[in-house]
Structure 1
Amino acid sequence: MWNAPIEAWGPDTATSMILVILALMLFISGRLYYTRRKKAYFSMTLSIILMLIHNMLRLYWQATGGLNDLTGFFDDLLQAVSFVLVNLGIYQLYNPTKRRQYIYFCGLIVLALGVSVFHFYPTTSGNAQQAALLADLPINLYMFVLIFVCAYMITPMVGQQGKFQTIMTLFFAKQTAHTINTYMFAGEHKWLTLAEWFLPIGYICILFLLLFDRIVELMQAIYQSSITDGLTKVYTRKYFDKRVAQYIRLNKKVAVLFSDIDNFKKLNDTKGHHMGDEMLKQVALIMQQEAEDSGIVGRYGGEELVVLITDPDTSPAKLAENIRRRIEEETIVTVSMGYSSFKKGNTAQQLVKQADEAMYKAKKTGKNKVVRFGA
């Protein structure tokens, strides 16, 4: 296969592969922009549209005899503008964009337009082919400037630095191969030509992975924020009830601990809501640490925190006492706790209610204690 003529590998093959990947990226980013209206998705969608147009035009130009002065100008310009917009989109995936950043990226595009105009600047040196090469030199050199500027400025600002640096490296390698092949070998070096055609495939593939991975990260973050309490970082009541119901449906041997911070209203009134919030976070953290290997923690409302014990080998009484003791020793508050274990015929609502009733009994009989339902 490697002995086949280079034309058999042709630019049409590489461009067609790039178009398929870009079409997938356009569907993803376009859909996200339509549903979420984020600036990052708009920039990515716009840049992908430009890259699609650029590569479709390349297919057309290749089919109709290659590049001339005018099409060569648009080819270089579209590459530069789409490259800037891709980097803007990547930056926006991780950072809010203010006026200063817009000015920065718009300035890079304006410079690309200005440098591209040199394509039509008349030159009298050399023959027509040499004049054409000199006319394209400014925009080719400017692409290297863009690569280094974007890599230097954006790399520290994004999460997936490895993928972003790989993207920059592949684009730099492609641009280097193009420049050396054009100005030293008149476009006739076999391996450099192959690099020009197929390095962009790697560039587009890694760009697709970066976009996809970032979207997965954002979706996970959105989901996580929807099921966790903003203050204590434990699960919300809705999610907690859902998990209890799930285990009950499966007839699993579970238990629920229900806790309430003692004298919480007095704490808020005397030391302020900030101290109340701080105590809530400390109590929640202790409960998470103690229940890490045996269940999940949720905030049921106000100062009420709950634990779903899913490990059948964990003693609810022992776990509750460990939590109560640590809170008393490590914070300025105490908690009253009640617990109830699942019995056949219980519903999820009944199990939680029983633990709540046991906690209420602990409150009424002295506070800072653990009470089992039915005791």
Structure 2
Amino acid sequence: MDPSAFWSNLPFSGLTTFCIAYASLMVLIMCTLMYLRQRKQAYLLMAAAFFFIMTYEGLNIHLLLSGEPLLHTQDVYRPLQLFSLVLLNLAVLLLYHRMRRLYYGFIFICGTLLLIPVLLQAPPDSFASVLFYDVLEWAVIAGSFLFVAPYIRQRRRYMLGLSGYAVWAGVHGFHSYIDANPDMLPLLDLLSGLPLLFYSVIFLMLFQRMIEQMQSIYRSSITDGLTGLYNRRYFMKHLERYVSQGVKVAAIFCDIDNFKKLNDTQGHARADEVLKQAACILEEELEGRGLAGRYGGEELVALVVSRGSKASLVAEKIRRRIEEETIVTVSVGYSSLRKGVTGEALMKQADQAMYHSKASGKNQVTDFRTLHSRSRTAGGAPLELEG
């Protein structure tokens, strides 16, 4: 066979067959690797779905090249196609939900139904076989619209691809009932790209979901699980970066007053709720101004890096809002970065100022620089200014 003549005479449907087979192989490899790393059932089902799609299209490629069906397996073409459709749509649902026992039963029932004409040795082109598979196909498509699309995030993209597949299935079904009208062949050839569109949409959804999961994993590694604020390690890393770059920054240190008593009297659940309320206020006040984090326990911290914001005003607003909007108060201390002070030393200064607020009656804000000046005026041991 002359390769150039083969490709020049290849219909559009044949070209899409090669494209789908290659794309299925790539997605199969990707899903297999993802499953080996994360053990998520969605990747396993999607890998299985694209394996069956690749097998189905591989049989079509053999038919294109040789003109004869491989080992007379034309009676399994349709079951392979429909079973892959079942697995693929279920895999999309599992990208956003956990696997349930009900789904295993659904897969088993669908697989059994698809094998009925094969087991009964019904001719694949008989009216009964064609009608049976068409009914199952439309049941899967309708079920996907009703039970998959409403429960995933990328529903519009998914419904667009599924609608394209439904158009392709409808035209092919109509064509099979009118004795293969040759006038419809150009339309069938043109619409053969719709399954490729559907599989491409699924791939984009899979890729987007993988990005979301990687972002979620990264986010969980840099934030506190309870409050959602940045954790101490990430917070200090950014503070040291600001210091090394010479950014004008101020550190605010907050400690919730009588938090242990709240834990003992109202329970950990209530105390956690209050801590999250205070963290939310801190995050709102630092939005566009800097960074908010949880230092440990009931200690919340913030960095003010905006030139248009004064640390004293931000600290006071945080204190006032927590007093007004929650059942607790906070003792606050802050310190502005000076030359020669490290990030760790800056946090220690803000911490010292916070302890002065707590020791002086709580629910107040203390500036470390003012505290340091008072200490020197009183002749006491100077507070640490240098890193």
TM-score, length of structure 2 as denominator length: 0.87
Distance (whole Å) between structure 2 residues aligned to residue 49 and residue 346 of structure 1: 60
CA distance in 2, matches of 1:251, 1:191: 68
5 Å-filtered alignment, 1:1-375, equals 7-67=9-69, 70-117=72-119, 120-121=121-122, 132=126, 135-184=129-178, 186=180, 188=182, 189-375=184-370
Letter in 2 for 1:260: D
Give the deviation of 1:339 after TM superposition. Answer: 0.9
- Report the Cα offset of residue 22 of structure 1: 2.0
Q: Is the 8 A contact 1:316 1:339 kept in 2?
A: yes
SS in 2 for 1:366: coil
Matching residue of 1:125: none
Instruction: Name the CA distance, whole Å, in 1 between partners of 2:62 and 2:313.
Output: 74
Q: Deviation at 1:44? A: 1.0
Once the two structures are TM-superposed, the CA of residue 105 in structure 1 deviates from its matched residue by 2.9
Alpha carbons 1:116, 1:138 under 8 Å: kept: no
Question: 2: distance between equivalents of 1:15 and 1:360?
Answer: 71
How big is each residue's C-alpha offset from its partner over 1:308-345, in whole Å with a ceiling of 9 and x where there is no partner?
A: 11212210001000111111222221111111112232
In 2, Cα distance between equivalents of 1:147 and 1:277: 46
Counterpart AA for 1:34: L
- Measured on the aligned residues, the alpha-carbon RMSD in Å equals 2.3
Q: Which amino acid aligns with 2:113?
A: L
Structure 2 letter corresponding to 1:184: I
* 1:115–1:142 contact (8 Å) kept in structure 2: no
Of 137-146 and 62-71, deviating more is 62-71
* Of 89-98 and 144-153, the range deviating more from structure 2: 144-153
1:229-264 CA distance string (max 9 Å, x none): 222121111111122122222211111100101121
**Deviation sequence 1:145-167 (CA, Å, 0-9, x none):** 22112322222222211122122
Q: Could you tell me whether the CA contact under 8 Å between 1:84 and 1:109 is conserved in 2? A: no
SS at match of 1:374: helix
Deviates more, 1:207-216 or 1:63-72: 63-72
Whether the 8 Å contact between 2:12 and 2:190 is mirrored in structure 1 is no
Q: Which moved more, 1:10-19 or 1:256-265?
A: 10-19
Cα distance in structure 2, aligned partners of 1:144 and 1:282: 50
How many corresponding residue pairs? 363
Question: What amino acid maps onto 1:200 in structure 2?
Answer: P
Residues 173-202 of structure 1, C-alpha deviations (whole Å, 9 max, x = no match): 111222223332626323322135221221
Moved over 6 A (4+): none
| CA displacement at 1:285 relative to structure 2 | 1.3
- Unaligned 5+ residue runs, structure 1? 123-128
Please tell me whether the aligned partners of residues 45 and 87 of structure 2 are also in contact (alpha carbons under 8 angstroms): yes
Task: Name the % identity.
Answer: 37
Counterpart secondary structure, 1:336: strand
- 1:68 Cα deviation (Å)? 8.0
The question of whether the paired residues in 1 share the 8 Å contact of 2:59 and 2:70 is answered with no
Q: Partners of 2:116 and 2:42 in 1: how far apart?
A: 26
Per-residue deviation, residues 6-44 of structure 1 (Å, max 9, x unmatched): 944343311121123223322321221111111111111
Q: What SS class does the counterpart of residue 95 from structure 2 fall into? A: helix
What is the Cα deviation at residue 138 of structure 1? Answer: 2.2
Paired residue secondary structure (1:337): strand
Q: Which runs of 5+ in 2 are unaligned?
A: 1-6, 371-387
| Cα distance, 1:66 vs structure 2 | 4.2
Does the aligned pair in 2 maintain the 1:21–1:208 contact within 8 Å?
A: no
Structure 2 contact 13–190 (Cα < 8 Å) conserved: no
SS at match of 2:369: coil
Q: Is the 8 A contact 2:117 2:129 kept in 1?
A: no
Aligned mates of 1:16, 1:209 — CA distance in 2: 19
Give the TM-score, by structure 1 length: 0.90
